[in-house]
Structure 1
Amino acid sequence: MNGRLAGRTALVTGATSNIGRAIAEAFADEGAHVVVSGRSRERGAEVVDAIRARGGRADFVAADLDGSPQASRALAAEATSALGGRIDILVNNAGIYPGATTADTDEEMFDRVYAVNVKAPFFLTAAVAPAMAEAGRGAVINLGSWIARLGIPQGSLYSSTKGALETLTRAWAAEFGPSGVRVNAISPGVVQEPAPGEVHPGEVMMNGTPAGRMGHAREIAHAAVYLAGDEAAFVHGIVLDVDGGRTTAAVIAR
């Protein structure tokens, strides 16, 4: 535990698996008191137990972020209470990805994805950021995606929501930054933890990149720790690409 976030409090949504879990664990390892949020109490308890076993501080708050202002406000209130009255860091990570083409997307699916991926973080930020601004400090970190800028055949709906969230990042930086609240985003590449011996279909998407492999959730978490901490005090409104070079460079195979 290095203590880069010692004394801070953090709420991480979608923190019961993959990137969200890695961020929650990394924050706790750096000294933050973390609220792990998600729909599954069983998986949430597992994450909290793992953090506490390493000497960290964590609590679980169940939330089904359906896009309603009520759900976001309820999570903000419960998390604030669990964290002793304040949230210093908010990570908007929760999201859903439907593997559907445009023609296969009906209105119900469209509304559901926008509700979870855009409306929920919008209203959660609206519930949390003003208190940060009143305190004169805070950090909001949104999770974007590389496919917001590099199109793939079955990602139109999801990528458009991540594009919206990256746009909100810049708007919120302008809105809350003058009050001491830094708002930034991370754009991960393909991040999965395949089982030993398993070939994940996402691996092909990282062919031709400088990294030449899928990312690990902990690599995204390292970026989140940086954006949450004092080392990023002069960083506002950016989208930090942590994608193995997927959106910036092409490697010619020999």
Structure 2
Amino acid sequence: MKKRTVIITGANSGIGKAASLKFAMEGHTVIMACRSLQHGSVIQDGIIAASNNKNIFLEELDASSSASIRAFCTRYRDRYGKLDILIHNAAYIDHGSPHRVNDDQIELTFATNVLGPYLLTMKLKDLLAGSNDARVLNAGSNIIKHYFNPKLELELDNLIGAYTGDKPFSVYNSYRNSKMALLMLTFRMADEFKMDGIRVYNLQINGAKMSKETLRKFTLPWWMIAGVQNLFFRPTSFMADSYYEICTSAAFSETSGKLINHRLEIMVPSKENPGIADQVRQLTGAGIYPNYADRTDMQEKLWVLCRELTAPKL
């Protein structure tokens, strides 16, 4: 197999850490894009030692910050100059936290989970286009199952500045919103990048053991819930293997713009008028996603919004 150059965001913990180790063990060049260089360097050293692969590099990247993304891309071009795989693994998921914004006054969940992947991909698009097998993977979530509710819609009107919504702010709801937006972005990017030979995927993560670093960010009630869930979730290496398969396997070399589940099956949209049996399969199975994600009008609205919010930064 050809050895590739891969960027993994949020690579110092959880699935990102496990994925970095997986790619390293297989002999690929890995750029670990982490917010904390101090913590990331410890993980980097461990991966190099475990894999005996010296082509493991650490770069500072805060996926919520457009300034950090721009600086990262400038350094990346100077130091590496090529890119085959881009994995958007980093995510803001601090359940129970108050409303927060980034330096551009954009709500932190949306900035990290949606605008970050959009801006980073657009800034590195030409390098990806130079690869003969370019792949972009967005880390999704089964939290989008909430959108089987026909009354639920993507919220794009309260993202800048102070929160002014009618209901109390919830990171959980914002996270749900961001993961649906990221799926829509996956579909739109796949269309936009088709002529460039760049394939784009979304992996629906249905639970993986959360790292201690992630758990420490939760407020007490959410920390307790997550602690119990961790007892039943698969190890991070399971989803890391899925990252690897999607980004390297010939089985996905002709696929793009698809949502893939933990069994590496391509998921299908829900029916317009599902019966009771269909609704049960939607909620209990892992093969169906809300057809709301296929709404091209919302994909267009999201695409334009991402372009507008990042235009001064491109």
Q: Which has the higher helix share?
A: 2
Which has the higher Rg, Structure 1 or Structure 2?
2
Q: Which of 73, 76, 87 is residue 70 of structure 2 equivalent to?
A: 73
Q: Which of 229, 232, 247 is residue 228 of structure 1 equivalent to?
A: 247
Deviation of 1:154 after TM superposition, in Å, equals 6.7
Answer whether contact 1:9 1:87 (CA < 8 A) is retained: yes
Answer whether contact 1:10 1:90 (CA < 8 A) is retained: yes
Query: What amino acid is the match of 1:50?
Result: G
Matched residue of 1:140: which SS?
Answer: strand
Q: Normalization by structure 1: what TM-score? A: 0.80
Q: Which of 107, 111, 134 is residue 111 of structure 1 equivalent to?
A: 107
Deviation of 1:37 after TM superposition, in Å, equals 1.2
Q: Give the direction of change, closer, same or farther, for the CA distance of 1:39–1:181 in structure 2 (3 Å limit).
A: same
Structure 1 distance, partners of 2:65, 2:226, is 28
Structure 1 distance, partners of 2:228, 2:48, is 37
Answer whether contact 1:146 1:247 (CA < 8 A) is retained: no
Match runs of 1:130-141 below 5 Å: 130-141=126-137
Q: Give the direction of change, closer, same or farther, for the CA distance of 1:89–1:107 in structure 2 (3 Å limit).
A: closer
Deviation of 1:147 after TM superposition, in Å, equals 0.4
Q: Which of 168, 173, 191 is residue 156 of structure 1 equivalent to?
A: 173
Deviation of 1:230 after TM superposition, in Å, equals 4.0
- Structure 1: runs of 5 or more not aligned: 207-211
Structure 2 distance, partners of 1:26, 1:135, is 21
Partner of 1:47: 43
- Structure 2: runs of 5 or more not aligned: 148-169, 213-222, 266-280, 286-314
Taking only the aligned residue pairs, the percentage that are identical comes to 25
Matched residue of 1:155: which SS?
Answer: helix
Deviation of 1:110 after TM superposition, in Å, equals 6.8
Once the two structures are superposed, residues 79-114 of structure 1 have per-residue CA deviations (whole angstroms, 9 ceiling, x without a partner) of 34443x11111011111113249xx64778971211
Q: Which of 262, 280, 288 is residue 242 of structure 1 equivalent to?
A: 262
Answer whether contact 1:35 1:79 (CA < 8 A) is retained: no
Once the two structures are superposed, residues 27-76 of structure 1 have per-residue CA deviations (whole angstroms, 9 ceiling, x without a partner) of 111221001111111221122112211212201001222342x3222212
For this pair of structures, how many residues does the alignment match? 234
Deviation of 1:175 after TM superposition, in Å, equals 1.1
Answer whether contact 1:146 1:241 (CA < 8 A) is retained: no
Q: Normalization by structure 2: what TM-score? A: 0.66
Q: Which of 188, 192, 202 is residue 171 of structure 1 equivalent to?
A: 188
Query: What amino acid is the match of 1:239?
Result: L
Matched residue of 1:242: which SS?
Answer: coil
Partner of 1:209: none
Matched residue of 1:34: which SS?
Answer: strand
